[in-house]
Amino acid sequence: MTAVLLYAHQDPSTLTLRICPHLKETGWEGNKAYPLSHSIPVFLRFIQSLRDQPSYRGLRTIILSIPASAEAPHTSWTDIPLTISEGIVDDNPSSCKAWSIIDRIKGYDADGDLPTFMKWFRISFPTQQGLVHVVAHSGIMKTYVGKTCNGHIYKGEPFDVKTFRLQGTPIDHQNCWTFTVPYGKVNEYHIIKSIQPGYPNPGKGADLKGAQESERALGEKSLCLKEVAPLACSKGGRQARRTKRRSHRNRSRRR
């Protein structure tokens, strides 16, 4: 969802997302690796709602690229196209196989870890050159930057990721901040210098509680309070299935 918000903002018609291991969000209920049969319908509902916003109205197709085998290195990938306007998932036989494989891939269930991800990426894409855009949870990013850079002298003071500020706000209180790290030898100074600001994070205290209460009051109109029926992937020929929807008023699960 975050990747779509960031990379489909200027109305592309198609966006391809490679679903990689070792990047899963840590902690809190709802952050586990849900089966594709459950997460894809929720994802489609999110995309269909997002297309009501002017900057995303041109988006028609999302392609999820999934490893074609359970064992690394993952050099072969299967594409699962999602037709957004019709809520249709392409469940051809190769896609169905990917649905079952992804649940067995090491690193999708474990909490994310950027050094492990980078080692996996170098093995799976040994010839990759240039800048690679990776979308990961802010907590995973802060852990990596903290372990790598904390204590390094930057602008005359020891660096601390928890207090480092950009545009007047600590990055610990921001979403969608970024940094760049090389595949090879890590230079702490260049990592710190590469950090770019994101957007203020409203927090998870009273503000979040108030937002959740507002969602519950909205009932049927609240995206987070709705659930969808899981998809059944056909094992036969090429088929397309519409997502079926049902509301669920009594609990909210964030993904």
**DSSP string covering the chain, please?**
-HHHHHHSTT--SEEEEE--SS-PPPSSTT-S---HHHHHHHHHHHHHHHTTSGGGTT--EEEEEEESSSSSS---EEEEEEETTTTEEE--HHHHHHHHHGGGSTTSSSPP-HHHHHHHHHHH-TT--S-------HHHHHHHHHHHHTT-EETTEE--TTT-EETTEEGGGEES-B----SSS--HHHHHHH-B--EE---SSHHHHHHHHHHHHHGGG-GGGEEEPPP---SSS--EEEPPEEE--S-----
Q: What is the dihedral of CA 118, 123, 127, 131, to 10 degrees?
A: -10
Residues 101 and 68: beta-carbon distance below 8 Å: yes
Q: What is the predicted pLDDT for the residue at 89?
A: 77
Q: What is the predicted pLDDT for the residue at 249?
A: 33
Mean pLDDT of the residues in the chain: 81
Q: What is the predicted pLDDT for the residue at 221?
A: 58
Q: What is the predicted pLDDT for the residue at 31?
A: 67
pLDDT at position 255 over 50: no
Q: For the chain, what's the residue count? A: 255
Determine the distance from the C-alpha atom of residue 111 to the mean position of all C-alpha atoms in its chain, rounded to a whole number: 13
What digits encode the pLDDT tens for the residues 145-165?
999 999 999 999 999 999 999
Euclidean distance between CA atoms 145 and 161, whole angstroms:
7
pLDDT at position 244 over 60: no
Q: What is the predicted pLDDT for the residue at 242?
A: 45
Euclidean distance between CA atoms 46 and 40, whole angstroms:
10
pLDDT at position 237 over 50: no
Taking CA atoms, 78 is separated from 74, 94, 131, 214, in Å, by 11, 7, 23, 40
Give me the percent of the chain exceeding a pLDDT of 90.
Answer: 35
pLDDT band at 142 (very low <50, low <70, confident <90, very high): very high
Mean pLDDT of the region 11-29: 84
pLDDT at position 253 over 50: no
pLDDT band at 245 (very low <50, low <70, confident <90, very high): very low
Q: Which is higher by pLDDT, 106 or 86?
A: 106
Q: What is the predicted pLDDT for the residue at 161?
A: 94
pLDDT at position 241 over 90: no
pLDDT at position 214 over 90: no
Tokens standing for 43? 């994802």
pLDDT band at 251 (very low <50, low <70, confident <90, very high): very low
What digits encode the pLDDT tens for the residues 159-210?
999 999 988 888 888 888 999 998 878 899 999 999 999 888 776 667 777 7
pLDDT at position 250 over 50: no
Taking CA atoms, 170 is separated from 41, 143, 199, in Å, by 35, 15, 11
Residues 142 and 161: beta-carbon distance below 8 Å: yes
Q: What is the predicted pLDDT for the residue at 77?
A: 93
pLDDT at position 63 over 80: yes
Determine the distance from the C-alpha atom of residue 12 to the mean position of all C-alpha atoms in its chain, rounded to a whole number: 18
Mean pLDDT of the region 54-80: 90
Euclidean distance between CA atoms 81 and 161, whole angstroms:
38
